A and B are shown apart, each in its own frame.
Chain A
Amino acid sequence: MEKHVVVIYPHPDDESFGAAGTIAKFREEGVPVTYLCGTLGEMGRNMGSPTFANRETLPEIRKRELIKACEVLDIKLEMLGYRDKTIEFENRMQIAKHIKDYLEQIKPSLVITHYPDYAVHPDHNALGAAAIEAVRLMDSENRPTVWAQAISKDFPEVLGEPDIVNDITANFDKKFEAILAHESQAMGVLGQQRKRNPEIDSIKEAAKLNLGMERFYIWRYEE
């Protein structure tokens, strides 16, 4: 059993869309989970459907949604304070050290983050790389396992079969509840999912088809 799991993603809602089923399973087993959330998604373009947010109110709204989603998932939240869309321009080593400070304090057995270069959004790629670097900076005997999540369409061809394939349909209700906590974002993103499966009427069923599997690669550190 894992001792403590730390999830490291840049945006409020990455945890819900990307790993909520896996997180829910760990919580069922009694494993503590902490989410290190990089930004407040300040530059998101989804403003609610119908719109209720604007560029200036969005950060506080997304912060409240993030707190709510973490309550739904029953996980601890730490906000890293970076700004949406800018992580790749920051000093990577500085971010890695920032993350390492958290990891040394929390002492997780597992870290979940994005797979650099295969995670589509520049913030995903940059924070994933920094998180992987943070673990690399730790003494090898204290290093947690790292699960890296790829999103790009070509990742299975390039990277091969993921090491961890979690069918999370049993926990999908929890995942969907966490996604819906991100009220300003949920429908915009779920609408996209639905467009890819126009034959399916129910938004939840369409979401289950696309988000019912959570896949990760175990990051291999070379000594």
Chain B
Amino acid sequence: MKPIEIKKVQNTLNKYKDKEVYVHLETTNGAYASHFNDKAYNVGAYIRNAKVRFNQAKIIGDGKSYRVGLKMEIGWIYAEGLTDWTIHEETKLLMAGHDREGRLMVSLEISDTPFSY
């Protein structure tokens, strides 16, 4: 992946508006967080291949870390801490946030076709 280029990502987000798309949304601090640090909590959530439709999509950030909000008819999809992006297999927009050791902390991915499962 490469650092987020906000204009390119915004243009790509626009292509997924107003149609049925598949979303992968995830956040994690790893299964060993409280094993390595007594004071840490294991927290994580993911949803893979949620079939959704959104009519607004926006990426906002300070040049280093970005937020993405996708507005659906009756709700929102939101991710914070995104730093990197890539296009996977030509049709899938992958965005992720990594910590300074390069570990994934958050991920938001959108595709016209289902993600492998």
Which A residues have a C-beta under 8 Å from some C-beta of B? 43, 45-51, 54-57, 59, 83, 85, 120-123, 151-153, 188, 191-192, 195-196
Chain A residues with CB under 8 Å of B109's CB are: 55-56
- Summed over the interface, the residue pairs from A and B with CB atoms below 8 Å come to a total of 64
Q: Assuming the A-B contacts A48-B102, A83-B117, A120-B35, are A54 and B94 also in contact, with contact meaning beta carbons closer than 8 angstroms in the complex?
A: yes
A120 to B36, CA, bound (A): 11
A94 to B96, CA, bound (A): 35
Given contacts A43-B46, A195-B36, 10 further A-B pairs with CB under 8 A are A43-B28, A45-B30, A45-B105, A47-B102, A49-B101, A55-B96, A55-B104, A121-B31, A192-B36, A196-B36
- By the criterion CB–CB under 8 Å, are A55 and B102 in contact? no
Number of interface residues of B (CB under 8 A): 28
Q: Assuming the A-B contacts A48-B102, A121-B32, are A59 and B86 also in contact, with contact meaning beta carbons closer than 8 angstroms in the complex?
A: no
- By the criterion CB–CB under 8 Å, are B1 and A54 in contact? yes
- Within residues 1 to 37 of chain B, which ones have a CB less than 8 A from any CB in chain A? 1, 24, 26, 28, 30-32, 35-36
Smallest Cβ-Cβ distance to B34: which chain A residue: A120
A54 to B103, CA, bound (A): 10
In the assembled complex, the CB of B3 is this many whole angstroms from the nearest CB of chain A, namely 11
**B35: which of A47, A49, A57, A153 is its contact (CB, 8 Å)?**
A153
Smallest Cβ-Cβ distance to A189: which chain B residue: B32
Smallest Cβ-Cβ distance to B89: which chain A residue: A56
A85 to B98, CA, bound (A): 20
In the assembled complex, the CB of A128 is this many whole angstroms from the nearest CB of chain B, namely 14
Chain B residues with CB under 8 Å of A45's CB are: 28, 30, 103-105
Contact indicator per residue, chain B 76-117, by CB within 8 Å of chain A (1) or not (0): 000000001010110010101010011111010100000111
A191 to B36, CA, bound (A): 12
Q: 29 A-B contacts, Cβ less than 8 Å apart?
A: A43-B28, A43-B46, A45-B104, A45-B105, A46-B102, A46-B104, A47-B98, A47-B103, A51-B102, A54-B1, A54-B88, A54-B96, A55-B26, A55-B94, A55-B96, A55-B104, A56-B92, A56-B109, A56-B116, A59-B116, A85-B31, A120-B35, A122-B31, A151-B35, A153-B35, A188-B102, A188-B103, A191-B101, A192-B36
